[in-house]
Amino acid sequence: MFISSAFAQSAPAAAAGGDMQSTLMSMLPLLLMFVVLYFVMIRPQMKKQKEHRNMIDALAKGDEVITAGGLLGKVSKIGDAYIGVELSAGVEVQMQRSAVIQVLPKGSLK
């Protein structure tokens, strides 16, 4: 009983000409979703990372910055991987360059 129904189900698969086109059409929505995902999420994120990298490379002594921890200070020393940030008179901390999230306009800190 079960064997004859299994043979009956496999019989229509002989028409292989339409299978290629149906496979291609079934993959089209997946491909379309990837393209939309790239332009909506991946590309803007890459652009934002590039802008952050350029901002960190352009840091100079005397720039006023905000760090990822929320500290505001003035750049006092610059190294390859680390910078010195003066938080107030006589208080200086060392941190990674990548911890800087924003460079403020000159004169923002009083």
pLDDT digits (tens, 9 = 90+) for 15-57: 455 688 888 888 999 999 999 999 999 999 999 999 999 999 9
Q: Report yes or no: 63 and 73 within 8 Å, Cβ to Cβ.
A: no
Of 66, 82, 95, residue with least CA distance to 74: 66
Tokens of 33: 């979703």
Instruction: Indicate the domain borders of the chain.
Output: 18-58, 60-104
Name the average pLDDT for the chain. Answer: 87
* CA distance readout (Å), 15 to 2, 3, 4, 25, 48: 24, 22, 20, 17, 50
Q: What is the pLDDT of residue 43?
A: 94
More confident residue, 88 or 11: 88
φ and ψ of 100, to 5 deg? -80, 125
Please state which architecture CATH assigns to domain 60-104.
Answer: Roll (2.30)
pLDDT at 86 over 80: yes
